A and B are shown apart, each in its own frame.
Chain A
Amino acid sequence: MKKNENMAWRFFASVRLALFALLILATTSIIGTLIPQKNPPEFYIDSFGPRTAQFFQMLDVPDMYNSWWFITLLILFSINLIVCTIDRLPNVWQMVVMNNLDTDPERLKKMPNSTVFHARGDAEPLTGIVTALLAKKGWKAQHEKKPSGTLLFSQKTAWSRLGVYAVHLSILLIFAGAIIGSLFGFKAGVMIPEGGVTETVYETGSEKPIPLGFSVQCDDFNLSFYADGATPKEFRSDLTVRDEAANNTFSRSIIVNDPMDYKGITFYQSSYEPMQGFNISITNKATNVRQNFQIPFGQKIHWPDTEIDFGVINQQVRSRMGDVASLKVWFSDGQDEPSVFWMDNNTVQAITTPTATYEFQASQVYATGLQVAKDPGVWTVYAGCTLMLIGLYVAFFLSHRRVWVYIERIENEDRCRVLVCGATSKNKIAFEKEFAALVECFTQDSTFQNA
């Protein structure tokens, strides 16, 4: 069965289908922007009523971009791209590589852009003159003797005809990258309290545990604010990776927009959670003895082997999340009245008692929220994106422009007919100007007279 007789092939290769696919993808995509996605089933029952919610579940509306019907549309779109490319590319390729010196001179006369000149002399010397004239306008010409004259041909950016197919291929590459990512990658998350270690992360959505094959410790989490005290300036996690299998340990800080990569797994700073507790560090200035504690809120803590007792008895929070702005500390070394004072979170306070001076450092305990992703398809996607931009530029702004000059001896006269003609694959208006400039070049040259 020849392919162009096959109805199914015709259908999948058609531009009609491409238009249908683009418009139906555009229209259906709107649904997921109006109906919030990936919420629990109760949300849809509460917002839309049980009947509508049931209807939504049936059509996978709560996760429509991964639904069978949306994926089917994307597959249809891909098949359309592939079939249309296979269908057209051979002919277009033919246009790119064809030998235009084989063009029948009779056909040249019907070109949309053409002008005829007359010139004295023989075809041979005229060929040289015309070649030089064409070169002046950037047209590098080749020529060939024909039974009745000489044909010259020159072209610019013949390969630009492939631009549109590069764009089609780029879309398929992006899809391929997305498929690779969903088959061999994962998206996950994990919360690690300061000081905590994890070897497992939890898949987004399913919460399925995924072993990392190494451990990640959160040494410290830091949240800083701008001078206004309300706008967050930086979320920073100091992480330590221990990979015993590879005998590798290293530490690195990550912030939003600057993730950490290890063994193809990337860790992104994504959120944090203030915990009900404090990291306290007390230094006795006289002896320079220093001790670190992690203590809960509202409990009296004893520093062993000393007479020091302390605790955090009150706190002021900055946001609904429970970030502590300042805390009220109770401190006693058994010598005098206990000290009670307010201090800002993340600062150091000096405490003086009759017998000693202490430095009291307090910071709220946080858990850092990391997004963890492995996506081996991302470079394929990026390759597709790059190809798309190059392809669009070529397809839109470059055109395959061709110029022929046919020099034909007029019988019984010592002069030749010189036919100058040209054609372009697109952007006809610009080509008309370019062609006119070329014709002007001939007109200016005294060798040629307008016929």
Chain B
Amino acid sequence: MNSSQLLGITTFAYLFSAILYIAIFVFRAKKIGLFATALTVGAFLVNSAGIGMRWYESHQMGIGYAPLSNMYESLVFFAWAIALCYLGLELKYKNRVLGAFSMPFAALAMTMAGLKNPDIKPLIPALQSNWLIAHVITCFIGYAAFAVACGMGMMYLLKDRKTTENPNSLLASLPDLRLIDDIIHKTILFGFLWLSAGIITGAVWANSAWGTYWSWDPKETWSLITWFVYAATLHARFTRGWGGQRIAWLAIVGFFSVIFTYYGVNYLLSGLHSYGGG
């Protein structure tokens, strides 16, 4: 079994898991809940094994490196982090409907990875640093939390439509608005801490490679823009008491900024991170 096969299985398992969670929500098929969780945990383990296997394979090729260095590998890790974040949420809140709004992101990330070139390529000198590992891990845990926050934001807006309060309606199975609001807030806090750590590890790395911890390169600048957006969101909540729909919208807007930082910059703008494009 090689890493490509393991990660291929992961893609289908995440897709299936996302479908199951959506079925739990739409058809209120609570009976398949345990199966959905078991499948997700299994998929997560296969995903982990796939990353580990790829690491091992790179060593076999004599160019050993942590598989976190290009678009394919980062997408695989992104999916891994999203699944981890979601499983944490499920454990904490004991609510599987959250999965219908989280796991599709993991499935999407793996599907996007499937479109990338999965060849294991040796690292160019600029990437040969342990800061690479710290930088990618911190950034993507942050991004994953923001992905989940975005999903929760969508869930909030879906539930909070001013439709008739029918206790039998589909939306009644969604968690209480106050709880969703709290989950959005918590995941943003969590993501913000990791994003900050990601920007800082990137700065330390840049300083040890080029002697400049900050050079206003488009990737750096966009990560800062994202940081500003979430910082503003947190201030709006902490001190102006924003909540509900406005924070839900900000969670979605913030994630657009994340996606642009991650994806858009590589394809639309040029800069130091151009090697992240492959």
**A interface vs B, CB < 8 Å?**
15, 18-19, 22-23, 25-26, 29-30, 32-34, 36-37, 65, 164, 178, 187, 226, 228, 231-235, 255-259, 266, 268-270, 371-373, 375, 378, 381-382, 385, 388-389, 392-393, 396-397, 429
For chain B, what secondary structure do more than half of its interface residues adopt (helix, strand, loop), or is it mixed? helix
A26 touches B128 (CB 8 A): no
User: What are the 7 A-B residue pairs with the smallest beta carbon separation, nearest first?
Assistant: A373-B211, A26-B228, A256-B125, A33-B218, A22-B232, A257-B129, A396-B189
A389 touches B209 (CB 8 A): no
Across-interface contacts of A429 in B (CB, < 8 A): 182
Tell me if B174 is interfacial: C-beta within 8 Å of chain A: no
Say how far A369's CB is from chain B's closest CB, in angstroms.
12
Give 19 CB contacts A-B under 8 Å. A15-B235, A15-B240, A22-B229, A26-B228, A26-B229, A29-B228, A33-B269, A34-B269, A36-B270, A233-B125, A234-B125, A256-B126, A256-B128, A266-B211, A382-B204, A389-B200, A392-B193, A396-B189, A396-B193
Across-interface contacts of A234 in B (CB, < 8 A): 125, 128
A235 touches B125 (CB 8 A): yes
Type the 1/0 row for B205-237, where 1 means its CB is closer than 8 Å to any CB of A: 001111111101010011011001101100110
Known A15-B239, A257-B209; 5 more pairs at CB < 8 Å: A19-B236, A29-B224, A187-B211, A373-B211, A375-B207
Separation of A396 and B189 alpha carbons in the complex (Å): 6
B193 touches A393 (CB 8 A): yes
Across-interface contacts of A396 in B (CB, < 8 A): 189-190, 192-193
**Which residue of the partner chain B has the closest CB to A396?**
B189
Across-interface contacts of A269 in B (CB, < 8 A): 125
Say how far A160's CB is from chain B's closest CB, in angstroms.
14
Type the 1/0 row for B123-147, where 1 means its CB is closer than 8 Å to any CB of A: 0111011010000000000000000
A392 touches B192 (CB 8 A): yes
Q: A233-B125, A389-B196, A429-B182 are in contact. Are A371 and B225 (CB under 8 A)?
A: no
B207 touches A378 (CB 8 A): yes
Across-interface contacts of A257 in B (CB, < 8 A): 125-126, 128-129, 131, 208-209
Across-interface contacts of A382 in B (CB, < 8 A): 204
Tell me if B28 is interfacial: C-beta within 8 Å of chain A: no
Separation of A375 and B213 alpha carbons in the complex (Å): 10
**Which residue of the partner chain B has the closest CB to A20?**
B232
Separation of A210 and B236 alpha carbons in the complex (Å): 47
Tell me if B121 is interfacial: C-beta within 8 Å of chain A: yes
Across-interface contacts of A23 in B (CB, < 8 A): 228-229, 232
B211 touches A375 (CB 8 A): yes
Number of interface residues of B (CB under 8 A): 45
**Which residue of the partner chain A has the closest CB to B192?**
A392
Across-interface contacts of B131 in A (CB, < 8 A): 257
Separation of A388 and B196 alpha carbons in the complex (Å): 8
Task: Name the residue among B128, B210, B214 with the largest chain A CB count within 10 angstroms.
Answer: B210
Tell me if B46 is interfacial: C-beta within 8 Å of chain A: no
Separation of A293 and B106 alpha carbons in the complex (Å): 60
Q: Which of A33, A372, A385 contacts B200 (CB 8 A)?
A: A385
Tell me if B148 is interfacial: C-beta within 8 Å of chain A: no
Within 8 A of A (CB), among B132-177: none
Separation of A37 and B218 alpha carbons in the complex (Å): 10
Q: Which of B210, B231, B239, B265 contacts A268 (CB 8 A)?
A: B210
Tell me if B85 is interfacial: C-beta within 8 Å of chain A: no
Across-interface contacts of A36 in B (CB, < 8 A): 270
Say how far B225's CB is from chain A's closest CB, in angstroms.
5
A37 touches B216 (CB 8 A): yes
Q: Which of B129, B193, B211, B265 contacts A389 (CB 8 A)?
A: B193
Tell me if B52 is interfacial: C-beta within 8 Å of chain A: no
Separation of A187 and B213 alpha carbons in the complex (Å): 12
Separation of A188 and B129 alpha carbons in the complex (Å): 23
